[in-house]
């Protein structure tokens, strides 16, 4: 759940209207049963124990699947931006600025919503480790965009469970 919520947070950092896009995508994906409104979506995301105001308990299967589908659909929508960030053919200075903008917005969201005393959050906000972790997240989103992304992300989130 931690990783899934942090991926959704990365989507919000990449897209200024990310939270609105999530609500809209829930309707598109017919996830009304799991997330009838934005409050229900917010409550599900608050199952992340790294959050400042986290809720106890596990996600239901429907909620978990819904959040995975949501992350993949939004990744597909943001794919051109993700591609720009990962491409080595983009102008270096421009890409550095793009990564800087993403870092600032992501860190701001992390500070606002996450519990800064948790080790994982301290790593995310660490200048050196955070850079690598943010790149991993953008890479994950880019590879989860598209038709095969849902199965891929679903399998990845269950790593180590076998």
Partner 1 sequence: MTNFSSLAAAAGLSGTQYRLRYEQSSCRLELTGLPDVTAAAEEGAPKQRLDILTNWDLILGQRANLQGKREHLEALVQAVIPYVRLLVSAQPRPLSDSKSVVTLEPSGERHHLVLRSSQPNTPPLELLLDDAELADLNQCLDQMLVDTRMGLNLAVQPPQPLRRGEYRRHTLQRRGQWLPPAIAVGALAMSSLLISLVPLPQRSPVPQLQESSTESTTKSEEQAKP
Contact positions toward partner 1, by CB under 8 A? 2-3, 6, 79-80, 82-84, 86-89, 119-120, 123-124, 129, 132-133, 136, 139-140, 142-149, 151-162
For residue 88, the 8-state DSSP code is: S
Question: Among all chains, which residue has been given the structure tokens 């049963």?
Answer: 33
Write down the least CB distance from residue 39 to partner 1, Å: 27
Report residue 56 as tokens. 């106890």
Write down the least CB distance from residue 50 to partner 1, Å: 10
Select from 77, 118, 127 the least CA-distant residue to 99.
127
Cα–Cα distances (Å) from 68 to 61, 118, 137, 153, in that order, read 11, 24, 14, 7
Write down the least CB distance from residue 2 to partner 1, Å: 7
Write down the least CB distance from residue 68 to partner 1, Å: 12
Measured from the CB atom, is 23 or 157 closer to partner 1? 157
Write down the least CB distance from residue 158 to partner 1, Å: 4
Measured from the CB atom, is 112 or 159 closer to partner 1? 159
Measured from the CB atom, is 29 or 120 closer to partner 1? 120
Measured from the CB atom, is 29 or 86 closer to partner 1? 86
CB 64 within 8 A of CB 2: no
Cα distance between residue 40 and residue 10, in whole Å:
20
Report residue 67 as tokens. 């959040």
Q: How many CB atoms lie within 10 A of CB 162?
A: 4
For residue 48, the 8-state DSSP code is: -
Measured from the CB atom, is 79 or 99 closer to partner 1? 79
């Amino acid at each position: 759940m931690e990783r899934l919520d942090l991926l959704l947070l990365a989507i919000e950092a990449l897209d200024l209207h990310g939270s609105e896009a999530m609500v809209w995508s829930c309707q598109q994906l017919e996830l009304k049963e799991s997330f009838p409104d934005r409050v229900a979506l917010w409550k599900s995301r608050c199952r992340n124990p790294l959050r400042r105001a986290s809720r106890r308990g596990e996600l239901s299967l429907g909620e978990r699947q819904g959040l995975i589908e949501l992350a993949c659909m939004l990744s597909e929508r943001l794919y051109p931006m993700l591609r720009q960030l990962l491409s080595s053919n983009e102008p270096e200075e421009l890409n550095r600025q793009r990564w800087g903008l993403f870092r600032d917005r992501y860190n701001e969201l992390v500070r606002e919503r996450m519990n800064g005393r948790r080790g994982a959050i301290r790593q995310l906000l660490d200048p050196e480790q955070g850079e690598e972790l943010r790149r991993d997240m953008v890479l994950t989103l880019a590879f989860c965009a598209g038709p095969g992304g849902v199965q891929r992300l679903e399998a990845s989130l269950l790593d180590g469970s076998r």
